[in-house]
A = this chain, B = another copy of it.
Amino acid sequence: MVFRVDLPVRWVDTDALKVVHYSNYFRYVEAAEEELYRSLGFNFKELSEKYNIQIPRVEAFCSYKLAARFGDVLTVVLRLGEKTEKTMKYDFEIRRKADDELLCEGYIKIIGLDIVSWRATALPPHLVEKVSGLLE
Q: A55-63, A89-97, A126-134: which one contacts chain B? A: A55-63
A15 close to B16 (CB less than 8 A): yes
Q: How many residues of A contact B (CB 8 A)?
A: 41
The copy count of this chain in the complex is: 4
Q: How far is the CA of A57 from the CA of B19 in the complex (A)?
A: 12
Q: Is A54 an interface residue (CB 8 A)?
A: yes
Within 8 A of B (CB), among A1-54: 8, 10-12, 14-19, 21-24, 26-27, 30-31, 34-35, 38, 43-46, 48, 54
Q: Which residues does A use to contact B, with CB under 8 Å?
A: 8, 10-12, 14-19, 21-24, 26-27, 30-31, 34-35, 38, 43-46, 48, 54, 56-64, 67, 69-71, 115
